[in-house]
Structure formats: C-alpha cells, structure tokens
C-alpha cells in the first residue's frame, strides 16, 4: 500500500509514479470516492468507467511526465494545475503522444489523506 499523501503537492508526482509503474491499484488509491475524470477525448467517466479507462491507459504502457505543479490549497480542497505529456500505445499498436495543462481538484479526507476528486487533463481546452 502506498504511503498516504498528507500534502496536496505530493499528489502529482505520486500519480505520475503510480501510472508509470503500471500499478492500477496504486493509481486508484490516489482517487477520492466518487472521483470523476474528463478524458482526453472529452468524455466524462466515473466509477467502473474511470477504473476501465485507467486500466486501458496502463495496458497501453502509458508513460506520464508532469511539469511543475501550481497548487492553491485550502483546508480540505486544492486546485492543481500542471503541464503534462503522455505517451501511450493505441489499439492500432502505434505509439501516440498527447500534451496538455490540467485543471484538477483534490480533496483531503477525514483521515487527512489527499486524493484527486476531479481529474481534468484538458484544463480549459474545449
């Protein structure tokens, strides 16, 4: 089990490390209950669909690279933005590369652990 995230600034590198290691359970442990994600195709996923989307990324040998994070945190909520690059093997077998700037929201639970509640890799892009 990964070390609990007690500082919102620890979330982006922990997410990058978990994704790049291909550890689905570790990635999912960084998500808050009821987390929602806007995918790079613009679809919104939560629950089993979010798990399946993440598993598909891992199956495609996703390699995530995050730039420096910009974080604004309050008592139990944080806004996290950063540039990212993702390389992944698509269903056609070709390696693809995508980039963007996130607009994510993290929430601190009653146990003091920060987790991603809203993942929006496209930020304000349409």
| Cβ count near 77 (within 10 Å) | 14
Query: Which CATH number covers residue 48?
Result: 3.10.450.50
In a domain, 3, yes or no: no
Q: Do 48 and 55 contact (CB within 8 A), yes or no?
A: no
Q: Does 67 fall in a domain?
A: yes
Report the percentage of the chain scoring pLDDT > 90: 87
Q: From residue 125, how far is each of 40, 75, 104, 122 by CA, in Å?
A: 10, 28, 13, 5
3-state helix, strand, coil in the chain (%, to 5): 25, 40, 30
pLDDT at 1 over 60: no
Closest CA to 80 of 88, 68, 70, 90: 70
Name the average pLDDT for the chain.
93
Give the count of domains, the chain.
1
The pTM of this model reads 0.91
Q: Which domain holds residue 101?
A: 8-119
What pLDDT, in 10s, does the model give residues 40-86? 888 999 999 999 999 999 999 999 999 999 999 999 999 999 999 99
């Amino acid at each position: 089990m990964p070390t609990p995230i007690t500082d919102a600034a620890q979330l982006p590198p922990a997410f990058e490390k978990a994704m790049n290691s291909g550890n689905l359970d570790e990635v999912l442990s960084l998500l808050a209950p009821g987390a929602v994600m806007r995918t790079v195709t613009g679809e919104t996923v939560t629950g089993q669909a979010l798990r399946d989307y993440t598993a598909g990324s891992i199956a495609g040998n996703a390699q995530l690279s995050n730039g420096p994070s910009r974080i604004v945190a309050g008592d139990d909520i944080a806004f996290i933005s950063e540039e990212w690059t993702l390389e992944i093997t698509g269903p056609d077998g070709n390696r693809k590369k995508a980039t963007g700037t996130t607009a994510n929201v993290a929430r601190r639970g009653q146990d003091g652990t920060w987790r991603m509640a809203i993942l929006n890799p496209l930020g304000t892009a349409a």
